[in-house]
């Protein structure tokens, strides 16, 4: 026999040994397939072993996999399932740190700001005029020789809103400002 044949025979022997260990472990946990073993094998990063990792270890690190199976399943009186690793929140899940307000709640905050005389809060919470409406009213006030700083501020805000659409962060700023006024 040459060197290559020895390596192939050794790998075949290791594969048979690991298959036997896997079969014993599956039987012990009353499983039906290899993937059923994953939840009994803890990982250093937390949680249990992924089924891809089990497959890789079976061919690349059979001795290490065999020792893990023996330690956590075969030699254990009662193999315990490892709790899963905490997953990061996905985009579809609602963010709990972002508050959303109903129309009635915003109107109530607007009334509170008006009663308190807080012009900044009123301008933030008040329904926004469109850019076209602001232009029209601003031109009309100039024709009538009236100076209206609030109208100019509304125009500037409409321009900024058109260039940078608002986010829920502005509502969070409003809420924190209202809590700070208490």
Q: Distance between terminal CA atoms of the chain?
A: 88
Q: Are residues 110 and 174 in the same domain?
A: yes
Ordered alpha helix ranges (H), 70-180 = 103-116, 119-125, 131-143, 149-163, 168-180
Q: What is the pLDDT of residues 86-103, one digit of tens each?
A: 877 776 666 667 778 888
Question: Looking at the domain assignment, is residue 5 inside a domain?
Answer: no
Q: Are residues 115 and 157 in the same domain?
A: yes
Count of domains forming the chain: 2
Question: Looking at the domain assignment, is residue 87 inside a domain?
Answer: no
Q: Are residues 112 and 176 in the same domain?
A: yes
- What is the pLDDT, as a whole number, of residue 38? 92
Q: What is the pLDDT of residues 141-179, one digit of tens each?
A: 889 988 888 788 778 877 877 776 555 555 556 556 555
Residue 182 scores a pLDDT above 70: no
Q: Are residues 65 and 129 in the same domain?
A: no
Boundary residue ending a domain (54, 74, 94):
74
Considering the entire predicted model, what is its pTM?
A: 0.46
Q: Are residues 20 and 58 in the same domain?
A: yes
Range of the domain at 130: 103-180
Euclidean distance between CA atoms 48 and 80, whole angstroms: 11
Q: Are residues 65 and 124 in the same domain?
A: no
Question: What share of the chain has pLDDT > 70, as a percent?
Answer: 79
């Amino acid at each position: 026999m040459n060197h290559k044949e020895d390596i192939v025979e050794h790998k075949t022997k290791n594969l048979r040994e690991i298959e036997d260990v896997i079969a014993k472990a599956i039987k012990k946990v009353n499983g039906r397939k290899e993937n059923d073993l994953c939840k009994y094998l803890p990982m250093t990063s937390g949680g249990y072993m992924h089924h891809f990792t089990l497959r890789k270890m079976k061919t690349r690190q059979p001795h290490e996999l065999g020792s893990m199976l023996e330690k956590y399943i075969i030699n254990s009186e009662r193999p315990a399932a490892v709790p899963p690793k905490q997953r990061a929140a996905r985009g579809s899940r609602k963010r709990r740190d972002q508050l959303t307000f109903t129309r009635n709640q915003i109107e109530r905050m607007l009334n509170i700001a008006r009663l308190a005389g807080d012009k900044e809060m009123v301008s933030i919470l008040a329904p926004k005029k469109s850019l076209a409406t602001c232009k029209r009213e601003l031109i009309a006030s100039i024709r009538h020789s009236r100076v209206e700083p609030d109208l100019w501020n509304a125009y500037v805000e409409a321009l900024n809103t058109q260039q940078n659409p608002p986010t829920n962060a502005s509502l969070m700023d409003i809420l924190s400002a209202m809590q700070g006024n208490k």
